[in-house]
Amino acid sequence: RNEALRDRALSLALGRVYLGAHDPKMARRTWEDVMTEMSKHGDQTTQDRCRRAMRSKPFNGIRYQQLVETTAQDFLDVLRSGTVSTNHFLRRLHNLAIGLGWLPWVVLVPKMWPKIKAKPKRGITHDEHVRIVSSDKDRERSLYYELLWEIGASQSDGAKLMAENIDWEADRIAYTRSKTKTECTLEIGQRLKAILKQLPPHGLLFPNIARLPAKDRAGEFRRRCRLLMIRDVTLHSYRYAWAERAKACGYPERFSQQALGHASKAVHRAYAKHAQVTLPSLEAYEQACIERTIIPMRMQG
């Protein structure tokens, strides 16, 4: 042990020899190799998001550093110079390197990772939505925002909707979420019907918007909000708004979860947690039971 402390360079060289016997590439791999591998996982949108994150400046500190030479201090320096996104993706890089067997030990133990504190998210309000739609002179884009308000689809799913997703005989609209592959089916109400009647009867409902990358659609919406002095909302805020509206009016959670394509109750509740809900009094519910407005539960015994 004393010899190892006195001659750390020799110890590191010996360690590389032993690691090289197990995996010839282990001693030469850098974090850029892990970044490249992680960017190949998931669907295309996930891969694109990962590549953008890996190009960010905080990762330059470890990009060309060999895995076996990385210390906890190297990780802490990256985390302190980055954001919440850096924390998230560095955790994924670390776990992937260990999972692949490229990293023979844990660089930073779980309790030393800074807690992820995401920026608060909220749904867009009805007044904000009306201001955005009324100020946008592009008819297709205004109808697109109206559709997102009515069905709560993600910006990509809404942009890719086709006339074939609409069943006019059954008065319903159905599509598959591109992210989770879950089925979303909604009955067409009067407001939604009025919107859909103004869209093309065949092919893409929003042909121009569908051709734009997601970042361009988000950028246009962000510029519109900036002009109207509307803060802290994005296109994704329409999904939060739909979940909050559903919770506020007592829409069954299992229905709204299916409508938004959430595979997890926890995820859905995170979307709806800012809804302002006032519970009805027990007296009102008892009176509704007496009047048979609602069906009372049968008590056992």
| pLDDT grade for 14, boundaries at 50, 70 and 90 | low
pLDDT of residue 122: 87
pLDDT (mean) for 79-105: 91
SS3 70: coil
In percent, the amount of the chain with pLDDT more than 90 equals 48
Please state, for a pLDDT cut of 70, what percent of the chain lies above it. 82
| Beta strand 166-167 pairing with 183-187 | unpaired
Indicate the Cα dihedral angle 165, 170, 171, 176, nearest 10°: -30
pLDDT in tens, 132-147: 999 999 999 999 999 9
Map residue 297 onto helix, strand or coil. coil
**Against a cut of 0.85, is the pTM above it?**
no
Cα separation, 22 vs 24, in Å, equals 7
What is the longest distance spanned by two Cα atoms in the chain?
Answer: 87
160-169 LR contacts (CB < 8 Å, sep 24+): 160/204, 160/210, 161/204, 161/205, 161/206, 162/203, 162/204, 162/205, 163/199, 163/200, 163/201, 163/202, 163/203, 163/204, 163/205, 166/196
Which residue did the predictor score with more confidence, 278 or 245? 245
For the residues 19-36, what does the mean pLDDT come to?
78
pLDDT for position 10: 52
pLDDT of 117-132, one tens digit each? 777 788 999 999 999 9
CA angle 201, 204, 206 (to 5 degrees): 100
